[in-house]
Amino acid sequence: MSTNETSFKPALHVECRMRDTDGFVRPDRVREEVTEWICENFISLRIDQRLENYEELNHGGAIQSISVVGFSGVQEDSLFHRLADVQLDVQAYMLHPYVVDDHVSEVRPGQQHDDELKPKTRTMPLPSANIHGLWESFTTRMGIVIYWLNCIRELTSKVSMTKSQRLDPNIVSWNHLVLLYGPPGTGKSSLSRALAHKLTIRLGKYFLRGKLVEVDPQSLFSRYFGESGQLVAQIFEQINAMADDEACLICVVIDEVETLTSPRERAATGNECGDALRATNQLLTCIDALRHRPNIVLFCTSNMLQAIDSAFVDRIDIKQLVPNPCPRAIYEIFRTCINELLRTGVLVPSKSNNEDPNLNMRPESPLSQSVHDFVLIEPISIPRFAEMEIRLYDQPHAPARKLWIISQKADGLSGRTLRKLPFLALALYTFTEPSTIHEGLYALSLAVEHELRAYNPHDTDLSD
Ligand SMILES: Nc1ncnc2c1ncn2[C@@H]1O[C@H](COP(=O)(O)OP(=O)(O)OP(=O)(O)O)[C@@H](O)[C@H]1O
């Protein structure tokens, strides 16, 4: 098959997580060997599949896991893909260990004035154990996730093209700027970090390392009039210096970017101070200056798109609304929380037949035989939506089914609120310790109703 034919095929992404080998094993060698092994041993692959029996490979000892993580084609929601129809994209990476206290840019003790004039950033090497798994918690298969798949695909191709083809930024416009906007608590900041992590893995062919730089926008405002512009310039000087290492992908995250980019017309009419105007001007200049750096991507988040300067909005390459999670995403949020409560023993699997007659039927019982194939006897974790969807109506009492009904009811709540609810529900509505999974789910359903009433005080009938 010609190379041209291959490059037009959609990509199937496979991630190969390596053990820490102290640099003895090169990721590109692992990538090559795993690609060859997959082509020789598989006809098709399923999204989310974990590949086994790789230990026999020359680099098998250096591999911790191999998973099929995504597909960049038209039918992004289909689960099975024939290798003959795709371009295999294997990435080998090593996670940097968990960092408890992120590095905050240096400030010298005892220098009060100096401290205030230092913009604060946190840096973390990528890919990082701190962020690992975050992307997956957002990208439930199908549903709202499609735009994230598009977003990562667009970013990957733009960064890789500017890096490999050395495109002239004055001719091909790419400002390296992504804006995630939407209501509070929908996961914009977490998604920016998750995107940075994922992008570093996916671009492992082009960049040997990655770095996440999180800028605290509040620290860019000084109480000394006229200093804010300088602080912005200072932070971008630091970022520019980091980008001198061309083998490193620098992902910068600026939360609440509207604080730095308030519309300059407002300042001109006297409602905003001149210092803010200088900060906005400086930021725009710095963004323009970064355009020739193929290894920088800037992720910004905002709750208020209308409060951002139009010249900044005009420079944005990828602008993505992050809405409240849809029921499938809500199911995933609740599912991960409940599984964590089960894992730690805060919740326990069902103990008696009283709660759910189907659930504890013994497999030996002839009466149970017909339902046994479908029934979870002692669930130790709730399955993913994709796994339980086909069996949804066969098991009216299964925890997964109950959770799906609760998730549909919780539509409209923010991701932040949803993450709090399972734990809060146990504190408010259960009286035994530990509670069973069914008691926990009943409590969660009450907590959701309570929260919805707080959102819509006039809506009294929330039963389904
Ligand atoms: N769709 C979602 N899926 C999974 N978790 C989510 C989702 N939305 C929000 N969360 C969780 O909610 C919490 C808050 O997220 P985050 O701070 O990223 O939101 P935000 O949109 O940046 O909020 P704000 O605008 O108030 O700063 C995090 O723990 C995040 O994991």
Ligand 1, atom 26, lies closest to the CA of 184
C-beta separation of 184 from 413 below 8 A: no
Distance 198 CA to ligand 1 centre (A): 17
The response to whether residue 333 sits with its C-beta less than 6 Å from ligand 1 reads yes
C-beta separation of 93 from 29 below 8 A: no
The response to whether residue 184 sits with its C-beta less than 6 Å from ligand 1 reads yes
Distance CA 429, CA 435 (A): 10
What pLDDT is stored for residue 153 in this prediction?
75
| Torsion angle in degrees (nearest 10) through CA of 270, 276, 277, 282 | 180
Distance CA 339, CA 320 (A): 30
- Please determine, looking at this structure, whether the domain spanning 95-321 carries the CATH number 3.40.50.300: yes
The response to whether residue 140 sits with its C-beta less than 6 Å from ligand 1 reads no
Please report how the helices 327-343 and 437-455 are oriented relative to each other, as an axis angle in degrees rounded to 10.
Answer: 140
C-beta separation of 163 from 94 below 8 A: no
Give the mutation target among 146, 188, 190 for probing the ligand 1 site: most ligand atoms within 8 A of CB.
190
Q: In three state form, how does the secondary structure of 16-45 look?
A: EEECCCCCCCCHHHHHHHHHHHHHHHCCEE
Each residue's pLDDT expressed in tens, for the chain with a length of 464 residues: 444 445 568 889 999 999 987 778 899 999 999 999 999 999 999 988 999 999 999 999 999 999 998 887 765 557 789 999 999 999 999 999 877 555 444 434 444 455 555 667 889 999 999 888 787 777 654 444 555 666 777 777 777 777 666 667 677 778 889 999 999 988 899 889 999 999 999 999 889 999 999 998 877 766 555 677 888 888 899 999 999 999 999 999 999 998 887 766 665 555 556 677 888 888 999 999 888 888 999 999 999 888 888 999 999 998 988 888 888 889 888 998 999 999 888 998 875 444 443 443 333 333 333 333 334 444 578 887 766 766 666 677 788 889 999 999 999 999 899 999 999 999 998 877 788 999 999 999 999 999 998 876 555 554 44
Ligand 1, atom 6, lies closest to the CA of 415
- Token output for 312: 């900044």
Residues 6+ apart with CB under 8 A from 254: 215, 217, 260, 298, 299, 300, 301
Q: Which amino acid is at 408?
A: Q
Q: Which amino acid is at 374?
A: F
C-beta separation of 334 from 418 below 8 A: yes
CB atoms within 10 A of CB 143: 16
The response to whether residue 70 sits with its C-beta less than 6 Å from ligand 1 reads no
CB atoms within 10 A of CB 218: 12
Domain boundaries, the chain: 7-93, 95-321, 327-455
Radius of gyration of the CA atoms of the chain, in A? 25
Distance 414 CA to ligand 1 centre (A): 8
Distance 260 CA to ligand 1 centre (A): 21
Pairing of the two strands 63-72 and 11-18: antiparallel
Distance 230 CA to ligand 1 centre (A): 31
The response to whether residue 222 sits with its C-beta less than 6 Å from ligand 1 reads no
C-beta separation of 201 from 91 below 8 A: yes
The response to whether residue 420 sits with its C-beta less than 6 Å from ligand 1 reads no
What pLDDT is stored for residue 76 in this prediction?
55
C-beta separation of 221 from 182 below 8 A: no
C-beta separation of 258 from 220 below 8 A: no
Q: Which is the closest atom of ligand 1 to the Cα of 138?
A: 3
Q: Which residues pair with 177 in a beta bridge?
A: 298
Residues 6+ apart with CB under 8 A from 376: 359, 395, 398, 399, 400
Distance 180 CA to ligand 1 centre (A): 12
Pick among 3.90.1200, 3.10.330, 1.20.1740, 1.50.10: CATH of 7-93: 3.10.330
